[in-house]
Chains A and B, each alone.
Chain A
Amino acid sequence: MSAQLVQFLLSGLTVGAIYALVALGFCIIYNASHVINFAQGEFVMIGGMATASFLGAGLPLPLAALAAVALATLIGLALVKFAVEPARGASVVTLIIITIGAAILLRGLASIVWDKRIHALPAFSGEQPISIAGATLAPQSLWVIGVTALIVAALWWFFNRTLAGKAILAVSHNRLAAQLMGISVRRVLLVSFGLSAALGALAGILIAPITFTSWDVGVMLGLKGFAAAILGGMGSGPGAVLGGLTLGLLESLGAGYLSSAYKDAIAFVIILVVLVLMPGGLLGGRATERV
């Protein structure tokens, strides 16, 4: 395997892991409420920016990170309380617009509370590049890929082995039946938004040393995360991860072998083709519609 190819694969995997984390956030909320939370990217932004600001205030990195994740979770819960719950019963499109409004609001607040500059976080374990098969990898990339793998495993355990996780899955399959079984949909909403927010914030903290963070970093990441979630099949956790990694690899290989100017376009063309051939995404399967 040529060193060049290995380099492209490594950078594709790093970027892909980032997209996968954001996609998972979309997936969890979608499962609980069938809402696409367009504010998901903003949770990523809050994770990075809050950590940067807590660091600047003197907290050590682990505490700053923890505080940032807590802040993001609180905001996620507030989103449910003040935006999603009052709009209960509204159509899905309306809910989506509400989340778009929330995203704009959060961006605006971020630019005022923090600032409009770009911030970097220190890499967790230094910057000395690691050599793998003739290519180099920044140590932070290993953190991103490693933690993503851990999170995926943890989520799998949560959704398949704990009651709370299974309750969320139950609501996603059939809300009415779940309610009849005594599951509080309200609590499920709160847990899923809170979890997604925490996940997004964690993603933001992991990647800020590599990609930097600023008040509007959520827009592009939210978009790519959404694309990854759809590519893998919206609502499927493994799908989100697969979608994220695939998108990252497509971009990196497209830039490396075809055209760096058009790499995003190439990735989206391939997503379109996949969707046309597999309307439910890679792992979505054929959906049956009850009439």
Chain B
Amino acid sequence: MLALIAAVALLPLALANNYHYEIAILVGLNAIVCVGLNLLIGYAGQISLGHAGFFGIGAYGSAILAARYGWPPVLALAAASAAAAALAYAVGRPILRLRGHYLAMATLGLGIIISIVIATEDRYTGGPDGMSVPPLALAGFALAGERAWYWLVGALLVATVWLSLNLIESPIGRALRALHGSEVAAEVVGIDSARHKLLAFVLSAAIAALAGALTAHYAGFITPGKVTFLHSIELVVMVVFGGMASTFGAVVGAAVLTALPQLLTVFKEYEMVVFGGVMMLTMIFMPKGLVPTLAALRSRFGKAP
């Protein structure tokens, strides 16, 4: 935890220009979504292939309220996150009864439905070409510039990680881990699995929506490209890549997979091939994900005389 705070605080020393800050901010925003998603996938053991949909509700909800209805951005942000949470609650109750691949399909379908609605209702959303978003402003004081956003996103990331770590160690967290291990056994012990699964689902949806709204206000522009099922799959890959059931794994996964395409541009047209190859090789040789594998290695070598 301290390492994360130190990393966030000290990173600006390594960031040379606004472009580097931009990458750092994007990493932070993705990491926030992944930490939330990790609660659902890694701890509660449920899969969601539709979280880009909640991200989109947050982003577009806030954008539409602020741009078309003149709401103050902070209020729009909160309202959009609440809307996403409400949708997750309403839809989560029936679909969380599904297991495994069926749940994956249901969440995938949900995400796709949301993205189709967003792309089609172009009078509100600007359609596939997107819409402009007003900057985040509080009482007339607008948040502008990469540095200011960096500190905001960094602070929120630390807060989200702190929230996640505390939740995992709390009775709710233990209940979640129990039902990941075996839902039947958990029920036998008296844990209301439906309620806990729903909680993880709604919480991760709200976090994703918050990150979505922030992304929209930061970039000043939002398109449906971020709401596609491909982005949902990207998010899941980030969580698994970094290590499921590891909050820091989620952060690391987001960092690596957000920054990697920037580094791979040297490969020009081979970028996709290299990216796919990296994904495959990492998962083959580090099946538990980056952080747990490295932690295991460290403890193994740490014991050497």
Contacts and interface: CB of A to CB of B under 8 A. Distances in A.
Interface of A: 36, 83, 86-87, 89-91, 93-94, 97-98, 100-109, 111-112, 219, 223, 226-227, 230-231, 234, 261-262, 264-265, 268-269, 271-272, 275-276, 279-281, 287, 289, 291
A272 B272 contact: no
Given A106-B276, A275-B95, A91 B109 contact: no
A101 B95 contact: no
B270 interface: yes
Given A87-B284, A219-B230, A105 B277 contact: yes
A101 B102 contact: no
B116 A291 contact: no
Task: State the main secondary structure of chain A at its contact with B.
Answer: helix
B279 A100 contact: yes
16 contacts: A97-B279, A98-B280, A98-B284, A104-B275, A105-B277, A108-B272, A112-B270, A223-B108, A226-B108, A234-B101, A234-B102, A268-B109, A268-B112, A276-B94, A280-B102, A281-B102
A227 B109 contact: yes
Given A100-B279, A102-B280, A105-B280, A271 B240 contact: no
B241 A97 contact: yes
A94 B287 contact: yes
Interface string B111-148: 01100110010000000000000000000000000000
Contacts of B278: 101
Of the listed residues A86, A104, A227, A262, the one surrounded by the most CB atoms of chain B closer than 10 A to its CB is A104
A289 B288 CA distance: 25
Contacts of B112: 264-265, 268
A271 B50 CA distance: 15
Contacts of A93: 41, 47, 240, 244
Given A98-B280, A291-B182, 12 more contacts: A83-B280, A105-B277, A108-B271, A108-B272, A111-B269, A112-B270, A112-B273, A223-B108, A227-B109, A230-B102, A269-B113, A272-B109
Contact of A108 (B113, B185, B273): B273
Given A276-B94, A279-B98, A291-B185, A86 B284 contact: yes
Interface residues of B, number: 48
Contact of A107 (B94, B108, B244, B272): B272
Interface of B: 41, 47, 94-95, 97-99, 101-102, 104-106, 108-110, 112-113, 116-117, 120, 182, 184-185, 229-230, 233, 236-237, 240-241, 244, 269-280, 283-285, 287-288
Of the listed residues A89, A98, A107, A272, the one surrounded by the most CB atoms of chain B closer than 10 A to its CB is A272
A33 B279 CA distance: 20
Contacts of A104: 272, 275-276, 279
A268 B285 CA distance: 36
A90 B287 CA distance: 6
B179 to A, nearest CB: 13
A265 B229 CA distance: 13
B7 to A, nearest CB: 26
A83 B95 contact: no
Contacts of B105: 226-227, 230-231, 271, 275
B237 A97 contact: yes
Contacts of A86: 284-285
A202 B117 CA distance: 34
A262 B116 contact: yes
Given A262-B116, A265-B113, A281-B102, A87 B287 contact: yes
Nearest to A272: B109
Nearest to A227: B105
Nearest to B114: A265
A131 B19 CA distance: 60
B272 A279 contact: no
A192 to B, nearest CB: 17
Contacts of B270: 108, 112
B240 A94 contact: yes
A108 B261 CA distance: 14
Contacts of A223: 108, 229
Contacts of B277: 101, 105
Nearest to A92: B100
A109 B200 CA distance: 39
B283 A98 contact: yes
Nearest to B47: A93
Contacts of A83: 280, 284
Contact of B276 (A91, A103, A219, A264): A103
A100 B237 contact: yes
A284 B274 CA distance: 38
B287 A276 contact: no
B120 A262 contact: yes
A105 B272 contact: yes
Closest 7 CB pairs of A and B: A108-B272, A105-B276, A101-B279, A104-B276, A90-B287, A108-B273, A101-B280
A112 B285 CA distance: 27
